[in-house]
Amino acid sequence: MKVVLDHLTKRFPSRSKKGGDVIAVNDFTFEIPDGQLIGLLGPSGCGKSTTLNLICGLETPTEGRIFFGEDDVTHLPPENRGVGLVFQNYALYPHMTVLQNILFPLQNLKGEARPSKEDMRRRAEEAARLVQIDMLLDRRPAELSGGQQQRVAIARALVKTPRVLLLDEPLSNLDARLRLQTREEIRRIQRETGVTTIFVTHDQEEAMSISDLIIVMKDGFVHQIGKPQTVYDEPCNLFVATFLGTPQINLFEGRVENGKLYIGQDAVLKVDCADREKLTVGVRPEGFVLQEDGPLCCALQAVEVMGRDHSVVSTHPAAVSTTIRSIIPSEETPQVKSGSVRFRLKPFKTYLFDAGTGERIPFSAV
């Protein structure tokens, strides 16, 4: 089932009498293709949860429309939309067993749609088997680990065979190891069921690792939509570039003069774009290459050992942050502990942004 968002806008009236409305979602238009896993990504307060609530019907949009396939569901109540929702804290009913929790949505069905008792039981067990909790059916949520509760919540959302599965920060309550495991699990379940899935997260790594498409939001606006690798490689503006990637992209103040890109006094690249007095240069940590006579001269601070790679921490007068961090394969690491290091920059890991608007300035190295 494809999901179409058509000029979707949600305004909340301001609490104080003076201030204007708060725009949580601003003119969101996108068509989510059928059977894909979509990561809705952004910092907290960016409107991603509101978008999810609009899609599932817990909130009604101020403007715009929502379609599931060809059906206009904008004004349908949540129960008639055929959505499954997994809450951040799972919202499993604590007084019911796992089986009762999974059965609950089925027992709400009325008339024709209501399956027979055996049928309900069979479907609940099927859903439990899909998320691999079929041996825990008689337990209560309090007797389960976080990861198991998560699976129960997914089973409960899937048991009605929803047209769209929505996950609100599904991994944020799990510890790091379980998070890694569970996100693969979500990917597997989504593949097996083929249900169009939208999940909200503020963790870029999480979104990039399992999504077919990611939507990067901030302040109610959609900044960029695309395949994870594309968005990472071709960020459309400064926000998207800084939000994606760990360690974060390194930012410098720079300028273009006579076809050369300068960071401080160092002419780092020859570029083909017009001269500019001031711009922001972003370099991904993996975009630095150690080179004896490299153009970018930095003061070495520390080398952090990370096993496969080393993280070289240094400073540069034109850097926006206090330190710059580069990832260097461990065999190329400098042997010295202090002094200056020189880098060459990989052109396709280097991005130029307008110093005022943060918009990306296209260039190619010559």
Partner 1 sequence: MQKKNWKAWLYLLPAIAFLSVFMVYPLIDVFVYSFEEGYNSASQTFWGTGLYNYSYVLHDPYFLQAVKNTFILVIITVPVSTGLALLISLGLNSIRRLRDFFQTVFFLPYVTNTLAVGMVFMILFKKTPYSDGLINLLIQFFGGQSVDFIDGPYWAKILVMCIYTVWVVMPFKILILTSALASVPQDYYNAARVDGTPPLRIFTRITLPMIAPMVFYLVITGFIGAFKAYSDEVAIFGTNLNAAGMNTIVGYVYDMLYGDSGGYPSYASAAALILFAIVLTITVINLMIGRKSTQF
Q: Report if residue 83 touches partner 1, rule: CB under 8 A.
A: yes
What is the total count of residues that contact partner 1 (CB under 8 A)?
Answer: 23
Which listed range, 30-38, 78-86, 204-212, 305-313, lies at the site for partner 1 (CB under 8 A)?
Answer: 78-86
Write each residue from 57 to 76 as x if it is in contact with partner 1 (CB under 8 A), else as -, in one continuous string. Answer: xx------------------
In the region spanning residues 151 to 210, those forming contacts with partner 1, defined by CB under 8 A, are 160
| Cα atoms found within 13 Å of the Cα of residue 138, Cβ hemisphere only | 0
Other Cβ atoms within 10 Å of 56 Cβ, number: 21
Give the list of residues 6+ apart from residue 306 with CB closer than 8 angstroms, or none: none
How open is the CA angle 341-333-294, to the nearest 5 degrees?
A: 35
What number of other Cβ atoms are within 10 A of residue 255's Cβ?
A: 17
CB of 130 to partner 1, least distance (A): 18
For partner 1, give the closer residue by CB, 41 or 102. 102
Q: Which residues pair with residue 225 across a beta bridge?
A: 215
For partner 1, which residue of 104, 172, 267, 333 counts as binding (CB under 8 A)? 104
285, 311 in Cβ contact below 8 A? yes
- SS3 call for 26: strand
User: Using the rule CB under 8 A, is 121 a contact of partner 1?
Assistant: no
Q: What is the distance between the alpha carbons of residues 227 and 39, in angstroms, rounded to a whole number?
A: 10
Closest contact distance (angstroms) between CB of 76 and partner 1 is 11
Nearest to 268 by CA among 257, 64, 49: 257
Tell whether omega for the bond before 247 is within 30 degrees of 0, i.e. cis.
yes
User: Which one among 39, 42, 47, 105 touches partner 1, defined by CB under 8 A?
Assistant: 105
- Element holding 173 (H helix, E strand): none
Q: Does 80 bind partner 1 (CB under 8 A)?
A: yes
Tell me the C-alpha to C-alpha distance, in Å, between residue 305 and each of 249, 327, 338. 19, 10, 15
Q: Of the candidates 38, 56, 165, 324, which one interacts with partner 1 according to CB under 8 A?
A: 56
Minimum CB separation from partner 1 for residue 251, in Å? 39
> Using the rule CB under 8 A, which residue among 30, 67, 87, 221 binds partner 1?
87
Over the window 317 to 336, marking each residue x when it contacts partner 1 by CB under 8 A and - when it does not, the resulting string is --------------------
**Residue 158 CB, nearest approach to partner 1 (Å):** 12
CA–CA separation, 206 and 203 (whole Å):
5
Site residues for partner 1 per CB under 8 A: 56-58, 77-80, 83-85, 87, 89, 91, 93-95, 104-105, 108-109, 140, 142, 160
